[in-house]
Amino acid sequence: MLSEKIYTLRRKSGLSQEQLAEKIGVSRQAISKWEGGLSTPELDKLKALSEYFQVTMDELICDQMSNAIPSEVKQEKASATDNRSKIGIILCLIGAFCLVLFGILMIVNPSVAGQVSESSIITLNGTGILTTLFVLLMILGIYMILKKK
């Protein structure tokens, strides 16, 4: 709220109402009314306040104070989250595509399953390894999509 911001900024600066009034060219009563919420400063007085306290007009009249996260940082975080989500979607699609392609290949040419199993040096047969790999790829993609940081 504007009245609270004016009060807080004035107190942080160590000024009395009278001192602030002198700095921006108004009466002490005007400062008192602004801080009490009984009236609001005119545009030129808002500008004088923002210049004196070295805050933007937005910071002065909006609900956020200057110690809030700057919009550039918010945009960078949103951009990083968007990129992570895009990578996650791509990984999911690759995993799903490979699973479908492998399934079609198994239906069309069942001997491929035997060849893959024979070429595997792990005790889990080759088709199980490929299926597990593709499912893990999809799970990694889903994790990246849902991760909130």
pTM for this one?
Answer: 0.42
Who contacts 124 (Cβ-Cβ below 8 Å, separation ≥6)?
A: 132
Q: How far apart are CA 121 and CA 62, in angstroms?
A: 65
Per-residue pLDDT in tens (0 to 9) along the chain, 149 residues: 888 889 988 998 898 999 999 988 999 999 999 999 898 898 899 899 988 888 888 888 876 444 444 455 556 666 766 787 888 888 888 888 888 888 788 788 877 767 766 665 555 556 677 778 888 888 888 887 787 65
Q: CA-CA distances (angstroms) from residue 20 to 24, 77, 101, 110, 113? A: 6, 38, 73, 86, 83
Within 54-125, where are the H helices? 57-61, 71-108, 111-119
Question: Residue 133 corresponds to which tokens in the numbers above?
Answer: 């790999």
